[in-house]
Amino acid sequence: MASAAAEVSEKLEEVRRGLDPDYAPTSDEPYMNERQQAYFRMLLLEWKRSIHQAASTTLQSLQDGPIREPDLNDRASSETDWGIELRTRDRQRKLIAKIDSALRRIDEGEYGYCEVTGDPIGLGRLIARPVATMTVEAQEAHERKEKISRDD
């Protein structure tokens, strides 16, 4: 875990050196140019780094010892909190796979384009959800189709 976090931090610093700290993508420039790709790479790497840091904090807390609350209600509450924390870490583990996929798409020049239609996803959507793989319209259609097949 520590080596993965160190590797992410290294890559993040490399990207930051090549990017103006005040830069934000705008629709006035060509879509998915090198600066925009570097910006989204930085966002994704920062997100991944923060997930690794939170995971190592959770791991350290788990290693500090078991819950030893004398009161049964306090103990149940602590165990519930740990259960929620562990489920959150599991969701974040899955998110790391999506972040890695997005970073791979940047490397391959496919980032920012819908995997269904090939249309640009849009800067606003990518800033809000950097791991997005579909335009809003394609995502809505996918969810409608998924809901219909679930209802059958």
- pLDDT tens string 75-110: 777 778 778 888 888 888 899 999 999 999 999 999
Give the pLDDT mean for 58-72: 66
What is the full DSSP assignment across 116-150?
TT--B--HHHHHH-TT--S-HHHHHHHHHHHHHHH
More confident of the two residues 89 and 61: 89
Q: Answer whether residue 140 shows pLDDT above 70.
A: yes
Residue boundaries of the structural domains of the chain:
2-111
Residue type at position 70: P
CATH of domain 2-111: 1.20.120.910
Q: What is the pLDDT of residues 127-138, one digit of tens each?
A: 999 999 999 999
